[in-house]
Structures are given as structure tokens and as C-alpha cells.
Amino acid sequence: MTTNTTVAVYGAYGHTGRFVVAELLERGFVPVLAGRDEEKLRALVEERPGLDVAVASVDDPASLDRALAGAAAVVNSAGPFATTAAPLIEAALRAGIAYVDVAAEIEANADTFAHFADRARAAGAVVVPAMAFFGGLGDLLATAAMGDWTTADEAHIAYGLSSWHPTEGTRAAGRVSGERRDGRRVRYAKGRLEYHDDALPTLEWVFPEPTGARTVLGEFTMADVVTVPSHLAVPEVTTYMTTEAAGDLAAPDTPAPAAVDGSGRSAQTFLVDVVVRSGEEERRAVARGQDIYAVTAPLAVEAVSRILAGQTRAVGVASAGRIFDAADFLHALSAHLSFETHDPRT
């Protein structure tokens, strides 16, 4: 537990970074605005007077060390995370502080677990990747749905997005991921990531009311296929996306998110429906809210708050469901999303 409230935000001027800065301030933390673009940082500090600015680049370790000096934690909101995650984790380990990121990139998150698990554990450090809408929220919901189960046969995570207006960061991350996969798609089956060239299946998913039955793309694979099996014994993890949202993401002319309220949130709504199955038994957890980018900020900041308060269950590299009490964490976000579980036995 620490009384230090200073938190560096790398990529603070980005779309999600701005939400993170606002949430930190709302929660009483002191953000340090960090990133590689000095002009954008100076413009942001004009909106947030009194905050410190730290110009730093991931290819300049000394600049990262200066940016993190005096901070208790760092939130990395700058993608593509295939480029930024490793250098910032290295800097956090050198500084002896917690690292949280909002990476949705499957391979970048897998790399974090593969490359830093042993070192972070040995150092007693906390590294939480994918602490975001994709990867973090699904993992928390799957963990809460599991309850007292120690294993399950399948986990299904269906994303009922009303639309998806991607940020430039999302598009950039998608390009990097596509290049790494050589155009193939990825799925998690039989306990491992697999790469395929076949088309995505289209099917119907019956979401809780009032959403109801919607057409979705099956095996529209998101970061949950890294976070969930990192700590839950579930050999089959499948994610789904509503066809409207998938179409928005695929279209090159879909505009970026537009604010519709004073907090900067867009009009987009979401429903995340998670079903875990063991034999003939099924359990479910559901979350509803507005704006997938905006809700990432309270997810990441709640993680920072709990890490600094010592409310954690693990050290090293750990997903949200592993390191936090999943149900308690989700209930703590009631101002930002609604959460419920459904166990047929109760």
C-alpha cells in the first residue's frame, strides 16, 4: 500500500488517454501527462492546467525513466502496444512501480505474459495488461460467471455493440496485428492460439432482453482469448461481435467517435454477454454501458487504485480476473456500467 497518488499516463493526449486522465483526476490521483508528441502534450495541459508534462519516446529509455520518476504507477494508453508495451514495462520494472495498459492486441498481450511473467514475479512487481473493454472486462465477467467452478469446458463472450466508430489508435493497432498474422485470423481452441484462413462464421446470438436475438460474427477474436485462459482452466474461448459493429470497423470511411455529452462519451452502447459451460451446466454474466473507449478509463483507474491499496491477489503479470476480486471489482464500477450474474441453480 502506498500514499503516492502520482500516476504517469503514457499517450495521455490520445482518445482513451484523455478519458484516463479525467478519471484519475476525478478519483483524486495526480496524472503526469506523458507521450512522445510535445505539441499535443502542451495542448492538453492547457486544458488541464497545473499538471506536469513528460516528453518521452519508447525508443529512448532515459526519457521513459524521467517520465516515470516519482510516479506510483503508469497507465499505458498508447498503441500499437506491439511497439509500446515492452519498453514501458521495462521502464516500470526499473522504476519499481506498477504497470497497467489498455491493449486490445492479442499478440501484444500474449507477448507480455510470455516475456515478462518470470521477471515481474521475481521482482514482486505488478503488470496488468489488457485492463480495458476488450480483454479486461470480458475476463472479469468470465471469472465472475465461473464463481466456485475451478474448470469449465467453454467460455463464450458475445459483444453486443450498437456501433463501432474506431479511433485512429484502433485502426493502427489493427494494421499491426494484421501484418503480424500475415492476413490470417486467430482463434483460441484446444488450449492454444490457432491461425486460420477460412471465413468467419455468421450466426445468431440471443442476448438478454431488451437486445434479444442479433446476428453476430463468430470467432471474431478479441484479447479475451489471452486474458481468460491465462488463469482459468477453459480450453475453448470464443468471442463474437454484432455484424453492424464489425461492419463499422471494417469500413475505411467510418468516422471516429463523436462526443454526445459533457464527459466526451459517444452515443454507442454495449452489452457484453458471457456464458461459461461445464458439461450440461451453464452460468452467465452480463455488463451494459455506454462507449467502449470511455468505459476503459474507469476499468484501468480502478485497477490502479486497487493495486496501490494492496487489494490484489497476485504479483507478476496477471490479468484482471486473476489479480482482482472480479465480482467486487465490477460492482465498484456501478457508476459506469451495470453488472449481473445468472446461475440457473439460484
- Tens digit of pLDDT for each residue in 267-293? 999 999 999 999 999 999 999 999 999
The mean-pLDDT minimum among 22-31, 125-134, 140-149, 190-199 falls in: 190-199
The mean-pLDDT minimum among 54-63, 193-202, 237-246, 303-312 falls in: 193-202
Summary mean pLDDT of the chain: 96
pLDDT of res. 344: 53
The residues, ordered by sequence, that sit 6+ positions from 162 with a Cβ below 8 Å of its Cβ are: 242, 244, 245, 267, 268, 269, 270
Question: Could you tell me the CA-to-CA distances from 319 to 110, 188, 230, 246, 259 in Å, in that order?
Answer: 11, 17, 7, 25, 30
Q: Is the pLDDT of residue 346 over 70?
A: no
CA distance 321 to 171: 27
Asked if residues 233 and 148 have their Cβ atoms less than 8 Å apart, the reply is: no
The mean-pLDDT minimum among 1-10, 162-171, 275-284 falls in: 1-10
pLDDT digits (tens, 9 = 90+) for 137-166: 999 999 999 999 999 999 999 999 999 999
Q: Is the pLDDT of residue 345 over 90?
A: no
**Cis peptide bond upstream of 210, omega within 30:** yes
Mean pLDDT, range 161-185, rounded to an integer: 94
pLDDT of res. 343: 63
Asked if residues 223 and 315 have their Cβ atoms less than 8 Å apart, the reply is: no
CA distance 3 to 220: 42
337-342 vs 202-206, strand pairing mode: unpaired
pLDDT digits (tens, 9 = 90+) for 24-33: 999 999 999 9
pLDDT digits (tens, 9 = 90+) for 216-233: 999 999 999 999 999 999
pLDDT band at 251 (very low <50, low <70, confident <90, very high): very high
pLDDT of res. 2: 76
pLDDT digits (tens, 9 = 90+) for 254-265: 999 999 999 999
269-278 vs 281-290, strand pairing mode: antiparallel
Nearest residue to 303 (alpha-carbon basis) of 286, 327, 323, 285 = 323
